[in-house]
Chain A
Amino acid sequence: AQSVSQHNHHVILSEAASLELGCNYSYGGTVNLFWYVQYPGQHLQLLLKYFSGDPLVKGIKGFEAEFIKSKFSFNLRKPSVQWSDTAEYFCAVIPMEYGNKLVFGAGTILRVKS
């Protein structure tokens, strides 16, 4: 089935460690790609998005993601995490062939130890 896969459900890091969260999708054709973050008790916020152009996308709070079309991937990275990055991160895809519907991955819960 068509889907969005996030590789890790739980990640625990120490402050200053580097972060990479994997995201793969199985849709062909043109896609719009997103990473959302949900801090404890708060609503979903957009971290970054990719529609076209430079496949390396920079978002808020020092996050970036790289679209690798050949690998159907859109991994999220941050060179040095902070305790305040503790949250749940969702990768989401709009596969254009299926209309303007966001399909979410299962989410990755990141806990940063201070």
Chain B
Amino acid sequence: GAVVSQHPSRVICKSGTSVKIECRSLDFQATTMFWYRQFPKQSLMLMATSNEGSKATYEQGVEKDKFLINHASLTLSTLTVTSAHPEDSSFYICSARDRLGGLNEQFFGPGTRLTVL
């Protein structure tokens, strides 16, 4: 149980285009999902907290107009990188917290490797 999927696993795009990444909780409902970014040889940095049915909460320094987050249902959150540039190339990872889980445990997706040319 507690499986989180991401799609796509890899994406290569041209500079200036937008890319959408999906995060799904497959066997549980998640009122809260989290989006992280991981640079090579560095740790995961929280970008934003996505709450079902409400606006995402962004961490300091993360541009909300650049990284659009939508959490339309209890099993799906999307991250759209708008007008992507090479510096946005990174590994994006989502996690989800079980709505019924009483503890602060997050389940992680496999990540999406974004390369912007």
Chain B binding site: helix, strand, loop or mixed by DSSP?
A: strand
**Known pairs A90-B43, A104-B43, A107-B43; A43 contacts B93 (CB<8 A):** yes
Q: Fill in one digit per residue for A24-44: 1 if any B CB lies within 8 Å of its CB, else 0.
A: 000000001010100000111
Size class of the contact patch on chain B: 20 to 34
Contact pick for B34, options A32, A45, A102, A106, CB 8 Å: A102
User: With an 8 A cutoff between CB atoms, is B92 at the interface?
Assistant: no
- B32, A100: Cβ atoms under 8 Å? yes
Interfacial residues of chain A within 59-105, with CB under 8 A of chain B in the complex: 90, 94, 100-105
B interface residues with partner A (beta carbon < 8 Å)? 32, 34, 42-46, 49, 93, 95, 97, 103-111
Q: A36-B108, A100-B97, A107-B42 are in contact. List 17 more A-B contacts (CB 8 A).
A: A32-B104, A34-B105, A42-B110, A43-B108, A43-B110, A44-B93, A44-B108, A45-B108, A90-B43, A100-B104, A101-B49, A102-B44, A102-B46, A102-B95, A103-B46, A104-B43, A105-B43
